[in-house]
Structure 1
Amino acid sequence: MPAPSHDRYCDEIADQLGRLRSVVTSGADLSTPVPTCPDWTLEQLVRHMGGVLRWVELHVRTRAAQSIPMTEVPGYAGPEVQGDARALDAWLAESGDLLVGSLRAAGPDVAVWSWAGIPTSGFWARRMTHELTVHRADATLAAGLPYEVAPEIAADAIEERLEIVAWAQRTRPGDTGARELRRGGDTIALHAQDVEPPWLIELADDGLTWRRARADATVTLSGPLTAVLLAFYRRLPLDAPELGITGDRELLAFWLTRTSFG
């Protein structure tokens, strides 16, 4: 499955924002706790998401060469009044429109500061697509609403997660989680039943590698692609009925715990 284009990421950001806004305006109680982000209510999650979009937009629009403090981002905090779904929705819509406009104007190759060694506007288009993909799941599941995501976006979110973990291993040698993932050849397979072939992840002593292949693995996580994605991001418990695990379940739990830095 080819990686999405820059325009596809921009389209997806707009679509994901529309879907997140529909949660805000669904009548859901904005004070509802978010089980997958236990420090946040639904409103706090939405405010985080809108603020991050504005923070990234300012970097892209100004071609920032270093990180901009969030306190310098106009409109970062969102509406003053708490619990106002209409105001929150309007602010979120504006946040998304600003970001998509700046990303489209920049294209994928403009130099922009980033935290993961890929200092381009294209990095941010991809990163915000998947930030929204996962946090929309948080909001949707907290509100008790159905969640779905396009297969190519779900697959790319898994790939990006792997790339972030590999980057952390290269650049954060003192990080306990990154260090402990050097496991001498243990392997994890992610078998999404509606996408072939599976991801085969090797936790080698010299760092994480992966490829798309069918092969025996130390542990295999299987299920529909969306369920595999949510489990891989710790948004769905491993004992969820739509998931299957064969092999060393403890290794999979170990991976999920140690990759929380990503």
Structure 2
Amino acid sequence: MDFVAQIETQASLMRSAVVKAGRDAEVPSCPGWTVLDLVRHQAAVHSWAAKAVVAPAEAGPPEFPKPPQDFDEVLAWWDTELAVLLERLRETSADSPAWTFDGSKRASFWPRRQAHETSIHRLDAELATGHDVPTLLFDSEFAADGIDEFLTVMVPRQLQRGRVIEGTGRLVVHAADAGRTWEVQLTKGEPPVVTPAHDSAIDSDATLAGTADAIYRKLWGRPSHAIVSGDESLLAALPRP
């Protein structure tokens, strides 16, 4: 999967949406944020990730930048920082040492992470326009990868930050159109154990089912048509960024 191409595509679509929505439009999926806040956040993350790609693996995280406050200025700054990120991702070997927060310490971490970061915020920007957002915004393969990244990378990231699992039970996540199923064993106070499952009918305490796109959105707390059955508290127990 070409994650760098995904970053470029999703960022372009996001930029178009934020310009359409306008700087002061509310972002319904990010309560308290305006489009300006959304753009400043995404631009800063792209700038920060560009530094991380070339940071020594044993170094601490790069300093998080402070983007401009003016809407036009931050759009221009984002254009520049995004270009730097894309160039570094394309020129840096996947096996090159780099600072990461998942323990891999390889530059290959960043294309995937930024592809999903940008895609979710592209969805936020689309929602801010006030227009209907297509039910299938992301293709099944990419969305399924986003589900996997959320469960195996982003949930552990929140545990690193001091969040804890507040439920115990087995959650099955089934994306039928992608042909993928995950079994998530939750134990209160412990890291979740995530494994591929080959049977969507596996005994579970809760099931999250739907298209990969819908599940991807649901896990990130965005509007979704995914269906939750069983103990819904298990899904709520997954800490979100």
TM-score under structure 2 length normalisation: 0.85
Q: Aligned partners of 2:16, 2:171: CA distance in 1, in Å?
A: 36
Within a 5 Å distance, the mapping from 1:225-244 to structure 2 comes to 225-236=212-223, 242-244=225-227
Equivalent in 185, 205, 208 of residue 202 of structure 1: 185
The residue aligned with 1:193 is 176
The residue aligned with 1:37 is 30
Please list every run of 5 or more consecutive structure 2 residues that lacks an aligned counterpart in the other structure.
none
Structure 1 consecutive aligned stretches of length 4 or more whose deviation exceeds 3 Å: 61-64, 87-91, 165-169, 204-207
Range with bigger deviation, 55-64 or 209-218: 55-64
Equivalent in 67, 70, 77 of residue 67 of structure 2: 77
The residue aligned with 1:221 is 208
The residue aligned with 2:99 is 113
Aligned-partner SS, 1:98: helix
Aligned-partner SS, 1:40: coil
The residue aligned with 1:150 is 139
Contact residue 18 and residue 126 of structure 2 kept, 8 A: no
Contact residue 144 and residue 180 of structure 2 kept, 8 A: no
The residue aligned with 1:250 is 233
The residue aligned with 1:52 is 45
Q: Aligned partners of 1:107, 1:46: CA distance in 2, in Å?
A: 29
Equivalent in 86, 90, 97 of residue 104 of structure 1: 90
Aligned residues: 233
Contact residue 220 and residue 245 of structure 1 kept, 8 A: yes
Q: CA deviation at 1:218?
A: 0.9
The residue aligned with 1:159 is 148
Contact residue 189 and residue 220 of structure 1 kept, 8 A: yes
For the structure 1 residues 224 and 63, does the alpha-carbon distance in structure 2 shift closer, same or farther, using more than 3 Å as the test?
Answer: same
Q: CA deviation at 1:176?
A: 4.7
For the structure 1 residues 93 and 197, does the alpha-carbon distance in structure 2 shift closer, same or farther, using more than 3 Å as the test?
Answer: same
Aligned-partner SS, 2:6: helix
Matched, 1:23 2:40: no
The residue aligned with 2:197 is 212
For the structure 1 residues 135 and 232, does the alpha-carbon distance in structure 2 shift closer, same or farther, using more than 3 Å as the test?
Answer: same
Q: CA deviation at 1:194?
A: 1.3
Contact residue 141 and residue 178 of structure 2 kept, 8 A: no
Q: CA deviation at 1:167?
A: 3.4
Aligned-partner SS, 1:251: helix
Q: CA deviation at 1:190?
A: 1.7
